[in-house]
Amino acid sequence: MDTNTPLEHIDDWEDDLVKRYPEPFKKQKEDYRNYNDSPRDDLVRNFYKINHQNQTYEFVIAKQNEYFNLDKRKMSPWDALDYLNTLVDDSDPDIELDQLQHLLQTAEAIRQDGHPDWFILTGLLHDLGKVLCLYGEPQWAVVGDTYPVGCKFSDKIVYSEFFAENPDFSDQRYNTKFGVYYENCGLENVKMSWGHDEYLYHVLKDYLPKPALYIIRYHSFYAQHREEAYAHLMNEEDHKNFEWVKKFNPYDLYSKVPIPPDAKNLRPYYENLIDKYLPKELLF
Ligand SMILES: [Fe+2]
Ligand SMILES: [Fe+2]
């Protein structure tokens, strides 16, 4: 197996999240795509093993240096969505929803509940950072749960036992409760494991309201928004904005239904919304 692509499909970890955090009051197996569990479980496990071994403080700094200049591509927001959609499923294309469909379903579910327009737009954009895959980044540096690096890895992180093989685990600079940080220093000052959340945050940070940026930057940070394991690094502003991250999470996890949204009909509404908040072209 190639360590760059331990998962058959990039969204397998999200399907696994629905198993970890089933929708309350719903029998998940009936509502969501069923599959032969154990082989995929092994792939997800192996995916996290590689992720946890490799996401070090130094690795994150190297990725930030590589991407924060935003000199990879220049695209209109909708072209970026189309570009992301070239990331197609090669395992079973008949069943999987493509990337744009997941984004539209998330946004539409938010819209149906009467939320503010920036929240709807956040639903549409939140996974755009997965274009990292198209730049050749390995899956473990694009998707999967994110967590702080530079301090002790919480045992609330999924498959935390695999951190024993991460060099930072036995590095005294990085393996104490606060590591390179200090109490309630604010997440702004905390480096997160590298993936699509942090990257997209940097692409969009000048354009969206703060709660939207929190959603984009921390939606995969399950160890906090679901498990509350890193409150000691957060400040008041973080706590306030995490209410939105928590509000967003069910739309991300539970809006996946097998009926594809009508992208063509929805497009004018979303083009308008994009125009309201974003420039004609975005730097990636
Ligand atoms: Fe995501
Ligand atoms: Fe998502």
What CA–CA distance (Å, rounded) separates 161 from 194? 19
CB proximity list for 187: less than 8 A, separation 6 or greater: 218, 233, 234, 235, 238
What is this structure's pTM?
0.93
| Per-residue pLDDT at 1 | 60
The rounded average pLDDT for each run of 10 residues, N- to C-terminus, in the chain (284 residues) is 83 88 71 59 94 98 98 97 82 65 96 98 98 95 97 98 98 98 98 98 98 98 98 98 98 90 95 98 98
| Per-residue pLDDT at 27 | 54
From ligand 1's centre to the CA of 95, what distance in Å? Answer: 20
| Per-residue pLDDT at 4 | 85
From ligand 1's centre to the CA of 195, what distance in Å? Answer: 9
| Per-residue pLDDT at 15 | 85
| Per-residue pLDDT at 35 | 47
Three-class SS of residue 176?
coil
| Per-residue pLDDT at 256 | 86
> Quick one: which ligand is closest to 217's CA?
1
The kind and range of the H/E element at 147 are none
From ligand 2's centre to the CA of 277, what distance in Å? Answer: 20
From ligand 1's centre to the CA of 172, what distance in Å? Answer: 31
| Per-residue pLDDT at 136 | 94
Mark residue 146 as left, alpha or beta (left: phi above 0; alpha: psi -120 to 50; beta: remaining).
Answer: beta
> Quick one: which ligand is closest to 196's CA?
1
